[in-house]
Amino acid sequence: MPKDKAPTRIQRKNRLTILEAALDVFSSQGFRGATVDQIAAVAGLSKPNLLYYFPSKEAMYDAVLSQLLYTWLDPLRTLTPEGDPLEEILSYVRLKLEMSRNYPRESRLFANEIVQGAPRIHQVLATDLKQLVDEKAAVIQGWIDAGRLAPVHPYHLIFSIWSLTQHYADFDVQVRAVLGQEDPFAAAPDFVETLYRRLLSPAGA
Binding stretches for a second copy (CB under 8 A): 28-33, 108, 111-112, 114-118, 122, 125-126, 129-130, 133, 150, 152-153, 155-157, 159-160, 162-164, 166-168, 170-171, 173-175, 177-180, 187-188, 190-191, 194-195, 198-199
For residue 127, how many other CB atoms are within 10 A of its CB? 10
4 binds DNA (CB under 7 A): no
Choice from 19, 22, 24, 57 touching DNA (CB under 7 A): 57
Classify residue 126 by burial, with Cβ atoms within 10 Å: 0-12, 13-18, 19+: exposed
Binding-site partner at residue 41 among DNA, a second copy, none, CB < 5 to 8 Å by type: none
User: What is the crossing angle of helices 154-170 and 130-145, to 10°?
Assistant: 120
Choice from 20, 30, 42, 51 touching DNA (CB under 7 A): 51
* 3-class secondary structure, 120: coil
18 binds DNA (CB under 7 A): no
User: What is the crossing angle of helices 172-179 and 184-200, to 10°?
Assistant: 100
Name the residue nearer to DNA (CB basis): 5 or 198. Answer: 5
